[in-house]
């Protein structure tokens, strides 16, 4: 079968014997491309992977792909181990699309939204793997390269795959859908993330709605715009949320004194109450979302609920570290106005008595909403969170700093730094101001350095 694919796509193997399992053997990091692997060089903005073909071959890679136009980039002696293609990036996408088609029995869940994609993907995968072998997107590799690389890991034993799908432009999800062919398309929400690139929330909705090109769709019922769009586009749909008409409806969700989520749902009219050993303000919606996925796949709901109990969080996404003298909450992976509000709101609910120190950085890619969004968060911190200390990091967060002062925080309760590297030497005095330290910003601010530093001491 692989020979037929190679022939149909015009790849030149030079009579090289190609294994049927080639897709599962692909490696784009030459340092890991030893025996048993096939190296595929990617041409990026700052490097050309073809420069590392010789290294991959020296490490014992079984073979490699290369762009015909880049044959001079490696030693002629390795030519017999290479497959010539027009474009290595597209070759990976084409191979992934074909490989997915070879696994029709695997139920694939495509997940998108303005925020929360990775958390829902991880929760979904945790639920599904309790029932059968499940593939999931590693980290947040949700773009036009990460998604194909994930699909190339499909094995015949996989019964499910939870695939995170991101979009920066209209058409991105449609492009990925053509590769993934998800059985269930999931739209978590539509917020203002990347509004600077899309231009408006309406255009974001149009882009995210491309996920509904699936046999079944799951969506957030509380957003009437999404509901109306799903009625017009989705073949079959199930909804989740707090709306009275949601198929999986949250009746109540709260944090108990053990930091656990107590939740009551109505699932197609049947009441379900249970406790999960973790809490976040958005976890109620996330749980309702993944149980809607279970419903769409006709899975046993009680078994799926049991599977959710083994979830233990994700690095950088409200992961709680209970250290000897204080609690550190790592929410440093990313931030937009919705997730920032959710994280801070969770602090308020789950840790009402602790003295709090906040280290908050810029929320990026907000376009014209940038100043307003940062001022709003600063105001919210001052009026509702009332931290012992608010540390802001980055250029845009100066507006957060100013708004917090205007709403009542004193100069002694406020510090501002241009970069994370300026914060690191001050950590000892910053941590000493509270029983709890919360860290959040867009990933480009690299506030993970704060987490790594504190966990290493």
Query: Average pLDDT for consecutive 10-residue bins of the chain (457 residues)?
Result: 93 89 95 96 92 96 96 94 96 97 97 91 97 93 95 97 90 95 96 58 84 95 95 91 98 84 95 91 94 98 96 83 91 92 90 93 94 98 97 97 97 97 96 93 95 93
Helices (H), 107-255: 117-129, 146-151, 172-180, 195-198, 201-208, 224-233
At 24 the pLDDT is 94
Ramachandran category for residue 115: left, alpha or beta (phi over 0 → left; psi -120 to 50 → alpha): beta
Interacting residues of 133 by C-beta distance below 8 A, sequence separation 6+: 155, 157, 158, 159, 160
Helices (H), 297-443: 301-308, 337-350, 370-380, 397-406, 420-423, 427-431
pTM of the model as a whole? 0.79
Q: What is d(CA 122, CA 136) in angstroms, rounded to the nearest whole number?
A: 8
At 62 the pLDDT is 95
At 193 the pLDDT is 54
At 349 the pLDDT is 85
Q: What is d(CA 66, CA 374) in angstroms, rounded to the nearest whole number?
A: 46
At 196 the pLDDT is 52
Please report how many Cα atoms fall inside a 13 Å half-sphere around the Cα of residue 271, on the Cβ side. 4
Q: What is d(CA 294, CA 406) in angstroms, rounded to the nearest whole number?
A: 47
At 191 the pLDDT is 76
Q: Looking up tokens 């993907």, which residue turns up? A: 121
Distances from the Cα of 317 to the Cαs of 191, 279, 339, in angstroms? 18, 12, 10
Kindly list the structural domains of the chain, giving each domain's residue range(s) and its CATH number in brackets, ordered by start.
Answer: 2-86 (3.40.1390.10), 103-308 (3.40.1190.10), 319-456 (3.90.190.20)
């Amino acid at each position: 079968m692989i020979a037929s694919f190679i022939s149909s796509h015009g790849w030149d193997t030079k009579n090289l014997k190609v294994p049927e399992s080639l897709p599962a053997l692909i490696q784009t990091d030459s340092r890991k491309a030893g025996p048993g692997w096939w190296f595929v060089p990617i041409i990026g903005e700052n490097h050309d992977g073809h420069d590392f073909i010789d290294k991959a071959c020296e490490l014992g890679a079984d073979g490699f792909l290369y762009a015909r136009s880049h044959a001079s980039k490696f030693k002629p002696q390795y030519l017999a181990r290479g497959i010539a293609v027009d474009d290595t990036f597209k070759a990976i996408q084409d191979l992934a699309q074909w490989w997915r088609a070879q696994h029709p029995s695997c139920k694939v869940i495509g997940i998108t939204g303005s925020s929360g994609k990775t958390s829902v993907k991880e929760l979904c995968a945790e639920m599904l793997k309790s029932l059968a072998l499940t593939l999931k997107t590693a980290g947040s590799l949700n773009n036009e390269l990460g998604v194909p690389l994930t699909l190339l890991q499909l094995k015949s034993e996989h019964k499910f795959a939870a695939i995170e799908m991101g979009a920066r432009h209209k058409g991105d999800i449609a492009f990925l859908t053509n590769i993934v062919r998800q059985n269930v398309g999931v739209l978590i929400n539509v917020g203002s993330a990347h509004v600077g690139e899309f231009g408006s929330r309406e255009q974001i909705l149009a882009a995210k709605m491309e996920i509904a090109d699936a046999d079944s769709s799951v969506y957030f019922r509380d957003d009437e715009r999404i509901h109306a769009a799903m009625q017009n586009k989705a073949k079959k749909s199930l909804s989740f949320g707090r709306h009275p008409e949601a198929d999986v409806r949250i009746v109540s969700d709260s944090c108990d004194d053990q930091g656990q989520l107590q939740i009551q749902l109505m699932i197609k009219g049947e009441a379900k109450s249970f406790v999960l050993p973790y809490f976040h303000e958005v976890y109620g919606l996330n749980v309702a979302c993944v149980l809607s996925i279970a419903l769409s796949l006709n899975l046993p709901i009680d078994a799926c609920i049991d599977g959710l109990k083994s979830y233990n969080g994700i690095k950088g996404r409200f992961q709680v570290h209970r250290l000897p003298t204080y609690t550190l909450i790592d929410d440093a992976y990313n931030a937009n106005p919705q997730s920032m509000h959710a994280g801070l709101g969770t602090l308020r609910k789950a840790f009402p008595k602790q003295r709090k120190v906040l280290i908050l950085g810029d929320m990026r890619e907000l376009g014209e909403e940038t100043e307003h969004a940062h001022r709003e968060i600063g105001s919210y911190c001052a009026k509702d969170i009332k931290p012992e200390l608010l540390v802001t990091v980055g250029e845009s967060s100066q507006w957060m700093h100013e708004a917090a002062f205007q709403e009542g925080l004193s100069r002694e309760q406020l510090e501002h730094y241009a970069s994370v590297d300026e914060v690191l030497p001050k950590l000892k005095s910053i941590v000493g101001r509270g029983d709890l330290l919360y860290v959040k910003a867009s990933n480009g601010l690299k506030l993970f350095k704060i987490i790594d530093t504190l966990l290493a001491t």
